[in-house]
């Protein structure tokens, strides 16, 4: 018995689904990590860098203003720059606030403090400078604008530049991490695809092997079934033939002898009006009727005419009998170069026509049936056509009969083919195609058995 591959396939399917689920979960996690890295580090870094650039821009404008203040070119003195610097201070502080919010995770509090302190110092000195200017100490204010303030401004600018550089570095590191994740995901996708491919190839090979085994098993079972059916039909025919011969030869002889003896006894000096003579006549008639019935039965079991005269005569006899028994008008039409068909071929062909006619009587509700035999050079076509209701495919019908199955088996035994179809214009036509000349059925049976043995050994 071939084991069903269903359980293994189901387990395989479950393992595959689990692998796909785990892999999908893993990939989604990696992609989420990537997205997080993108928003948390790279985008934030860029926005922070923008604020630092804004500060750098403010500082360079402040630098220009300090140069003018130090040169003393302004007629209203240094105090005239207070508003301009106040505007820059407001912008710088706004930038500083936003920048502190966006500052990347890797920024140390020390670095942040350095920036805040440098700014505080600068504005403190700026305040002192304007205070000196307002107090009329223009020279002192100019000195501060020329020395301390530019120094503090450039210190501030270099802190901002360092922070910008750090941001750039952090961005490069993030890009490197993204590349690593991409490479890892890419490698895993290839590994996963390769594993799936191997899985698919192995499953397909297993499936192909299972199907091959199943087909071999079905083929072997079908061979065995065919042999069994052939054997059954052959044995059935042999039994019928021997019972028929027994009935005809043994009992027929006995009844014939009994009839003859009764006839002789009747004539042995009994007066014509003797009651014993009348009884003897009656018994002789009963014996005669029994003999005729027995001969008819013997013919039905196995028509001797088939052995003596062949298929055509056998069917001629049977169609007439069938018409007489059923009242269905039945004709036999023979065409082509008639060949004498006897033995197994004759009996199987006869049984097929017999079953087709019986089916017509049982199911077709017809009053007419036609049997035809067409002899070709290498094929005989036997057809039985009725004009009845036709075959209706009813799957829910009561227990299916065996007639059609046996007809097909018999056709196969003769290496022929059988078809049952709706006839044009209504009714059913059963067609049997037989290759000619026909060999003896036993030879076919032996060959079938040999084929089955070869198939089993394969």
Question: Footprint of ligand ATP on this chain (CB under 6 A)?
Answer: 359-360, 362-364, 386, 388-391, 401-404, 428
Closest to Mg ion by CB, 33 or 403: 403
Among 337, 369, 40, residue whose Cα is nearest residue 177: 40
Closest to ligand ATP by CB, 268 or 398: 398
Task: Answer whether 112's CB lies under 8 Å from 100's CB.
Answer: yes
Q: Which residue has the tokens 């067609």?
A: 431
Least Å distance between CB 351 and Mg ion? 11
Which region among 37-45, 93-101, 162-170, 397-405 touches Mg ion (by CB under 5 A)?
397-405
- Answer with the entry of Mg ion, ligand ATP, none that 142 interacts with (C-beta below 5 to 8 A by kind): none
Closest to ligand ATP by CB, 336 or 400: 400
Distances (CA, A) of 295 to 254, 344, 351, 382, 403: 13, 22, 19, 27, 25
Long-range contact pairs involving 318-322 (C-beta distance under 8 Å, separation at least 24)? 318/350, 318/353, 318/354, 318/357, 319/357, 319/371, 322/357, 322/361, 322/369
- Answer with the entry of Mg ion, ligand ATP, none that 363 interacts with (C-beta below 5 to 8 A by kind): ligand ATP
Supply 210's token pair. Answer: 């299972």
Rounded-to-10 torsion of CA 375, 381, 387, 391: 180
Closest to ligand ATP by CB, 347 or 360: 360
Q: Does 435 bind Mg ion (CB under 5 A)?
A: no
What's 79's DSSP letter? G
Among 72, 263, 376, 403, binds Mg ion (CB under 5 A): 403
Which region among 155-163, 186-194, 287-295, 358-366 touches Mg ion (by CB under 5 A)?
358-366
Q: What is the 3-state secondary structure of 339-395?
A: CCCCHHHHHHHHHHHHHHHHHHHHHHCCCEEEEEEEECCCEEEEEEEECCCCCCCCC
Closest to Mg ion by CB, 153 or 428: 428
Q: Does 359 bind Mg ion (CB under 5 A)?
A: yes
Which region among 191-199, 269-277, 283-291, 355-363 touches Mg ion (by CB under 5 A)?
355-363
Residue nearest ligand ATP, CB atom distance: 401
Q: Which residues bind Mg ion (CB under 5 A)?
A: 359, 401, 403
């Amino acid at each position: 018995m071939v084991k069903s591959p269903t359980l293994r396939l189901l387990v395989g399917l479950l393992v595959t689904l689990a692998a796909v689920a785990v892999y999908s979960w893993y990939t989604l996690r990696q992609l989420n990590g990537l997205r997080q890295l993108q928003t948390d580090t790279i985008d934030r870094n860029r926005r922070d860098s923008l604020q630092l650039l804004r500060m750098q821009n403010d500082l360079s404008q402040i630098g220009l203003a300090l140069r003018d203040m130090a040169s003393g070119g302004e007629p209203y003195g240094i105090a005239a720059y207070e508003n301009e610097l106040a505007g820059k201070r407001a912008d710088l502080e706004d930038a500083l606030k936003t920048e502190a919010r966006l500052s990347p995770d890797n920024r140390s509090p020390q670095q942040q403090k350095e920036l805040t302190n440098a700014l505080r110092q600068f504005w403190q000195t700026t305040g002192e400078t304007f205070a000196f200017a307002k107090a009329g100490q223009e020279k002192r204010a100019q000195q501060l604008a020329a020395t301390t303030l530019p120094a503090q401004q450039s210190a501030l600018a270099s802190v901002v530049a360092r922070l910008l550089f750090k941001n750039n570095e952090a961005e490069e590191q993030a890009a490197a991490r993204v590349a690593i994740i991409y490479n890892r995901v890419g490698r895993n996708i290839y590994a996963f695809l390769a594993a799936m491919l191997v899985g698919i190839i192995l499953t397909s090979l297993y499936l192909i092997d299972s199907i091959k085994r199943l087909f071999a098993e079905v083929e072997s079972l079908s061979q065995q079934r065919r042999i069994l059916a052939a054997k059954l039909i052959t044995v059935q025919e042999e039994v019928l033939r021997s019972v028929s011969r027994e009935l005809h030869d043994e009992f027929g002889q006995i009844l014939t002898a009994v009839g003859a003896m009764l006839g002789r006894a009747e004539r042995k000096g009994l007066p014509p009006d003797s009651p014993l003579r009348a009884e003897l006549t009656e018994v002789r008639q009963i014996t005669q009727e029994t003999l005729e019935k027995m001969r008819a039965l013997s013919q039905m079991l196995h028509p001797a005419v088939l052995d003596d005269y062949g298929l055509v005569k056998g069917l001629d006899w049977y169609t007439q009998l069938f018409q007489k028994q059923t009242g269905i008008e039945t004709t036999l039409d023979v065409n082509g170069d008639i060949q004498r068909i006897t033995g197994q071929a004759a009996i199987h062909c006869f049984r097929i026509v017999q079953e087709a006619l019986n089916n017509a009587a049982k199911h077709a509700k017809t009053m007419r049936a036609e049997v035809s035999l067409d002899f070709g050079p290498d094929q005989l076509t036997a057809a039985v056509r009725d004009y009845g209701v036709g075959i209706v495919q009813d799957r829910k019908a009561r227990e299916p009969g065996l007639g059609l199955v046996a007809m097909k088996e018999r056709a196969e035994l003769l290496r022929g083919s059988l078809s049952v179809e709706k006839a044009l214009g209504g009714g059913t036509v059963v067609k049997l195609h037989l290759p000619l000349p026909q060999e003896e059925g036993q030879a076919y049976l032996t060959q079938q058995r040999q084929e089955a043995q070869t198939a089993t050994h394969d």
